[in-house]
Structure formats: structure tokens, C-alpha cells
Amino acid sequence: MGITNNPFSLEGKTILVTGASSGIGQGCAVMAAQLGAKVIACGRNEERLKGTIDQLDGEGHTSFAGELTDPMVIESLVANLPALDGVVFSAGISMTAPFTFSTRDKFDKVFNVNFFSPVELLRLMVKKKKLVNGASVVFISSVGGNFGFSVGNGIYGASKAALNSMSRLCSLELAPKKIRVNSICPGMVVTPLVEGFSENITQEDIQKDIDFYPLKRYGKPEDIAGGVVYLLSDAASWVTGQAICIDGGITAY
Ligand SMILES: NC(=O)c1ccc[n+]([C@@H]2O[C@H](COP(=O)([O-])OP(=O)(O)OC[C@H]3O[C@@H](n4cnc5c(N)ncnc54)[C@H](OP(=O)(O)O)[C@@H]3O)[C@@H](O)[C@H]2O)c1
């Protein structure tokens, strides 16, 4: 027997997810649909996007393929949006570089995807009144932004710290419209984003890193999606301005 008026349900909500063609964004799209949401899945690779749509429970889901650092693409996406009850900004890239190799072009590359693109998307969504009163916005940030610091992670970490800062600021500016804005800060999650790292690290070093996690494993996309769907739901209607770590306990040390 289901719970009537289940506050965790996303039934009747339309949720846009960027980065939905892979990893964490895909996990969020799948779980949001399981909870009843109609999903607008955004990514670049049309085949992978179709793969996501095929995994979604329910009907009425749509996809949008485009390069989200392109201002024209951002404008056309926003212009064609229906009213949204929630947005998950998961599209992102990583980069590892020692500080002395952290040149402006590398900062630009990472900040364009991880910071400027979601911030401009949100700005236009608010300006064009695409978010309903009571909508929930979730930025996928990282523990590497403000909570854990590792050598070589400066550019990526700075992009996520900037995102956490903007998330908190937006939570205050959008609170009068009852729009909630939070970020989720994952620890290491096994996705294509981090699979490339293993080329440069031995299996032994990876195991040492895993063992350092109090819960003794890396995350899965659904570990992050669980927190995201909570924030999208009415169960989180008094939660805003937070950066929530979902990280197997790594930042508890
Ligand atoms: N995995 C981790 O350990 C981890 C930890 C902390 C935070 N995060 C954050 O979580 C988010 C998702 O990461 P993930 O691990 O799921 O990575 P992923 O599997 O590589 O997925 C990245 C997604 O972003 C999309 N994307 C990248 N650049 C884009 C652009 N310029 N325009 C439009 N879409 C773009 C990709 O689209 P296409 O595939 O279609 O090109 C893909 O859907 C990122 O913001 C990342 O920083 C990840």
C-alpha cells in the first residue's frame, strides 16, 4: 500500500537534469522518474541521451542535446522550456593540474562548463520565469570545492567552490519566490568522469584511497541521486542555502 501525500514523491513535477547522458546526472534522471517526475534530460551525446530516456519509468520525458557553454544553445534551451518544478545541474568536467601548470586557458575551460554555464542557465530560467514558485534547484558540486583539498585539484576545486558560493547567494535572492537552491558535494563516485584517472594510478593506490573512506567504498551515481531527489521533493521544503556532502564519510575526518 502506497503512502498518500508522500512528501518524497515527485509525481506531477517537471525536472530538468543537465549532464543526464552519463554518470551522476543519469542516476538523478532515473531516480527522479522512478519517483514520478517528468524529466527533461540534457546532454551532448544524442545516443547516450537516448540511453537515459530508455531507462526512465513513466511517460512524457524529453531530451535536449547541445553544448551548454554556447550562449545561443543556452538561450534556445531556456526559450523552449515549460514551467519547471526543479533543476539539477550535473554537467561538468574535471581537470588535474599542478598549480604551476594552472594557466588561464585551463581555468577558462573548466569554469566555462562547471560554473558559467549552470549560473547563466539559472539566471535566464529565473529571468524568463521558467521556475515555478516553490521550485528546487540543485547544483552538483564536489567535496573538492570547500571541504576536502587534494594536490593538483586547484582548478576543479575552485570552480566548485565558486558554484557553492553562488548557490548560497542565489538561495537568499530567490527565497522571496520560494525557490530553494542547494548544492550536493559528492566524494569520489565511479562514473566515466573518474574512470580515466585510473590510467595514471596503480590499482594498489586506488585501493588505499578507497580504504581511507570510512564506509570503505567509492560512491555510485544512485548514492548521490538519493540526496538530489530529496532536495527536489516537498520533503525538503524548508531546506535552502546548503552544501550537503554525500561522500562515504571522507569529510568526517
Ligand atoms: N564522479 C565523481 O567522482 C564526482 C565527484 C564530485 C563531483 N562530481 C560532479 O558531478 C557532475 C557529474 O559528473 P559525472 O561523474 O557524472 O561525469 P560524467 O559521467 O563524465 O558526466 C558528465 C556529463 O556532463 C555532460 N557535459 C560535460 N560537458 C558538457 C558541456 N560542455 N555541455 C553540455 N553537457 C556537458 C556530459 O555530456 P555528454 O556525455 O553527452 O558529452 C555528461 O552528461 C560533474 O559536475 C562533476 O564535477 C563528480
Predicted pLDDT at 2:
57
Mutate to test the pocket of ligand 1, among 94, 141, 189, 193 (most ligand atoms within 8 A of CB): 193
pLDDT in tens, 31-73: 999 999 999 999 999 999 999 999 999 999 999 999 999 999 9
Condensed to tens digits (0 to 9), the pLDDT of residues 221-234 reads 999 999 999 999 99
Residues with CB under 6 A from ligand 1: 19, 21-25, 43-45, 48, 67-69, 90-94, 113, 140, 142, 186, 188-189, 191-194
Instruction: Tell me, yes or no, whether 252 lies in a domain.
Output: no
What's the N-to-C CA distance of the chain in angstroms?
Answer: 41
* Domain hosting residue 83, numbered range: 14-245
Residue 17, pLDDT above cutoff 80: yes
Here the CATH number for the domain that contains residue 77 is 3.40.50.720
Residue 194: per-residue pLDDT: 85
Say if pTM beats, i.e. exceeds, 0.95. Answer: yes
Task: Note the pLDDT tens digit of each residue in 112-134.
Answer: 999 999 999 999 999 999 999 99
What is the length of the chain? Answer: 253
CA–CA separation, 179 and 237 (whole Å): 9
Encode pLDDT of 171-215 as tens digits.
Answer: 999 999 999 999 999 999 999 988 877 777 898 999 999 999 999
Q: Is residue 98 predicted with pLDDT exceeding 60?
A: yes
- Residue 140 lies inside a defined structural domain of this protein: yes
Query: Has residue 9 been placed in a domain?
Result: no
Provide the number of structural domains found in the chain: 1
Alpha helices in the chain (DSSP H): 23-34, 46-55, 71-79, 104-111, 117-127, 143-146, 154-174, 192-195, 203-212, 221-232
Residue 93 CA to ligand 1 center (angstroms) comes to 5
In a domain, 227, yes or no: yes
What is the whole-number distance in angstroms between the Cα of residue 64 and the centre of ligand 1?
15
**Is residue 2, in this structure, part of any structural domain at all?**
no
Note whether residue 5 is domain-resident: no
156 is an active site residue: yes
Q: Is residue 137 part of a domain?
A: yes
Atom of ligand 1 nearest to the CA of 219: 3
